[in-house]
Structure 1
Amino acid sequence: IDACELDQTGLKDGQTWRCGVIARSFLRKMIDGQHVRCEIIDQDRYRRLVGQCFIGDADVGLAMVNAGLAEAMLRYLPSSHPISLVEYGEAENRARGNGLGIWSAEIESPHRYRRAKSSKMP
């Protein structure tokens, strides 16, 4: 998944909407005091580990996508992996169609936001 950066904002109903803070708050409430188990799926081109995390049987990333607080990063899901590409895609489409979270605001895609921010650094 790809969620807003902590300092990232957008516009919602003409007001500044702190999408990064909201996404972090949602995640904190979900995992607070819980045992989180992560399984490594891949490594990206920057050598960062890509994984899927669970609380019990609940997929933490899928919950974020369902809430509209993250985009599904389908390119990291190999077709042979038990995570269903269809499930993540459908979750994002539902959130988008229902105008939830990031889909209810004017925000820059998190990966574009990071790219623009890193190009401004000295």
Structure 2
Amino acid sequence: MTSALSLGAALAIVPSVAAEPITGRASVIDGDTIDIRGERIRLHGVDAPESWQTCGDGAGGTYRCGHQAALELDKFLAESRPTRCEFAERDRYRRIVSVCFRADGRDVNRWLVESGNAVDWERYSRGAYADAKELAKSRGAGIWRGRFQMPCQARAERARRKPSC
């Protein structure tokens, strides 16, 4: 409900052209960014591992969890096209930040967290996906099957700066 309220508030303050949903065939850039018709779209309130990031596999090994998250997102989106994204805001990189839905109505952002391919980025989601995170953790899904570093911490460490999470 909080997510719907904040999305509604964002839509109310932007020009109607920017508030129009973007619909089309999504190309996956990484685990939390897609492209539709040349427009980069950052998925609101979720944070997926970076493409270079590795995670524990729960059996003593590691796997490329960021790469895997992107592959899983691509498969999920391909199951029901097109993808529709509702404008929330623009980020500092000028990407559109959105909550997106498959043609069958499934919430892409929620699915990413529920499947363990991303975490609820509470700083932005205000906990909208906390239940999905708990479900993924309890099932040991995706990144939750082993040890991993939060994506925002991994980015900060790589850039030698303070984490933004």
TM-score, normalised relative to structure 2: 0.61
1:116 and 1:75 map into 2 onto residues whose CA distance is: 19
1:98 and 1:89 map into 2 onto residues whose CA distance is: 14
| Per-residue deviation, residues 16-72 of structure 1 (Å, max 9, x unmatched) | 211011101110101127211111223456665421111121111111111111101
| Corresponding residue number in structure 2 for 1:8 | 53
Counterparts of 1:1-122 in structure 2, within 5 Å, are 1-12=46-57, 13-32=59-78, 34-44=81-91, 48-56=95-103, 57-77=105-125, 85=128, 88-119=129-160
2:156 and 2:94 map into 1 onto residues whose CA distance is: 17
Contact 2:100–2:108, Cα closer than 8 Å, also in 1: yes
Amino acid in structure 2 at the alignment position of 1:67: S
Quick check: which has more Rg, 1 or 2? 2
State the aligned residue count: 113
Higher relative contact order (CA 8 A, sep 6+): 1
Amino acid in structure 2 at the alignment position of 1:70: A
Please provide the CA RMSD for this pair: 2.2
In terms of fraction of residues, the more strand-rich structure is 2
Contact 1:50–1:76, Cα closer than 8 Å, also in 2: no
Alpha-carbon deviation of 1:91?
0.8
TM-score, normalised relative to structure 1: 0.80
| Structure 2 gap segments, 5+ residues each | 1-45
| Per-residue deviation, residues 80-107 of structure 1 (Å, max 9, x unmatched) | xxxx82xx11111111122111111111
2:48 and 2:82 map into 1 onto residues whose CA distance is: 21
Question: Is the deviation greater in 36-45 or in 92-101?
Answer: 36-45
